[in-house]
Amino acid sequence: MQLCGGADRAIAPPIQEEVATVTSVEGSDVDIPTRDGTADGYLARPADGRPRPAVLLFQDAFGLRPHLRSMADRIAGSGRGYTVLVPNVFYRHGRAPVVELPEFIDPAARPEIWDRLHPVMRSLTPEMAMRDAGAFLDWLAGSPSTVDGPVAVTGYCMGARLALRTAGAFPDRVAAAAGFHGGRLATDAPDSPHLVADRVKAELYFGHADQDPSMDEEQQRRLEQALTAAGVRHRCEVYPGAPHGYTQADTSAYQEEGAARHWAALEDLLERTF
């Protein structure tokens, strides 16, 4: 099922030239100053030391952990190479992981994980999140590992909301944004993320989970209508049979088919952007 097929006409076709693949990547832990303290994070970049276009990766609810580091490494080593920052958006509650996590995350078997995470998630207001996003963009702009110019943003679960909000809050600094299995992107709340559509200049891509009550068909239509009305270049696709969290290989929600489709869509977006 695809809700936004008509919007595809506004998107440039993929670059046809052969794209070299970067295979050697190095990662490091970093600290990012913000107005409210210091956010820890992970930076992945090609090992040749050359500056690359920047990608800001927003976490899911489980936060910065080995799997997100591996995702950043894969993005950094794809295409022509990128410099990828994964900040701990929950840094006000401590360095990552702010909640102890098992190697394999199954919330149904470990409901106490959600009990601990929900208050942390609720404490991150949109205003705080966008204050932080500005700090993350500033840090990337000042890094010798990045080239000058706008960045791309990708987000997962709650990170998809942050990606959309960042594209609206910093329209001249975000060239592309993607969100995968994002929930509550287009609610009837007065601060719903989709309401930033009229400020977005970036190209957007959303890969909705088919089996996701937090992003039902009504919200999908509301998001599509807002983006179309605002003239935003975008594509929204629904991944058949995919559960909320389908990209996260260290969780019980992982779906191999959906994860592979997500990688293809994200890499295609990055290649067009940069």
Residue 130 backbone phi and psi in degrees, to 5: -75, -30
Q: Which of 181, 194, 208, 244 is catalytic?
A: 244
List 4, 60, 67, 157, catalytic entry: 157
Task: Count the Cβ atoms, other than its own, within 10 Å of residue 233.
Answer: 18
Cis peptide leading into residue 97 (ω within 30°): yes
Rounded CA-CA distance 173/175 in Å is 7
Is 244 assigned a catalytic role?
Answer: yes
Output the 3-class SS for 142-198.
Answer: HCCCECCCCEEEEEECHHHHHHHHHHHHCCCCEEEEEEECCCCCCCCCCCCHHHHHH
Spot the catalytic one: 212, 234, 236, 262. Answer: 212
How many Cα atoms within 13 Å fall on the side-chain side of residue 169?
21
**Location of structure tokens 């009550």:** 213
Tokens of 186: 């287009």
Angstrom CA distances, 70 to 97, 156, 175, 245, stand at: 15, 14, 24, 16
28: number of Cβ within 10 Å: 10
DSSP string for residues in 57-124: EE--TT-SSHHHHHHHHHHHTSTT--EEEEE-TTGGG-SSPSS---SSB-TTT-THHHHHHHHHHHH-
Residues assigned a catalytic role: 157, 212, 244
